[in-house]
Amino acid sequence: MEIIHHENYLSITTALTDLNEPNPTYSLRRIRAELLAATKDGPTSPQCDFISFRPISPDNLFEMIGTIVGPIGSPYEGGLFHFHLRIPPLYPDLPPVCTCMTKIWHPNIGPYGEVCLNILQDEWSQALSVRTVLLSISALLGDTGMAVEGGNAAYGFANVDAGEMLLENRAAFELAASDWTIIMID
């Protein structure tokens, strides 16, 4: 993850240096502030050592890649999970659209990477950020029971098969999630 943090730091600083917008929108100013906060401690001392994010291109701060390390003690331990975050023009009034780019066996992440998380739907707040979205997804990976205990009560499972397996046989679910993670590492 240290290499990812360093690469993302360089990508963010390049994007912020190249940004030459004479009248930036509120959304752009907010994204810049979030990126500046992510780099304030330098590449070797990120705000969180288990998540990182950067713009896909220095020309477009509205498309980002987020990386999450699989939480220790979870079936996802040892995995690196990449998420595409598309920031809408009305951000932070609207949440980012978040898609998992890494294959994963999880009730809240659908077969095409769609992420089902309450803060990405009706519980979004302007106080939240790209960083808090990634922290929330990391928490979801660390405690798959959150998918059952209210994380998905209103929406159903994004991955119905994973959700049913979790409800019927948690041990089998955790073995399957761990196996998927191992396959993605190799």
Please give the positions annotated as active site: 116
C-alpha atoms less than 13 angstroms from C-alpha of 29 in its C-beta half-sphere: 5
Q: Which two tokens stand for residue 139?
A: 């928490």
Q: Which residues contact 39 (CB under 8 A, 6 or more apart)?
A: 9, 12, 13, 16
Half-sphere exposure of 113 (CA within 13 A, CB side): 12
Quick one: angle between helices 170-185 and 160-168, nearest 10? 130
- Residue in this structure with the two tokens 């701060």, named with its chain if needed: 61
Closest CA to 43 of 68, 7, 80: 7
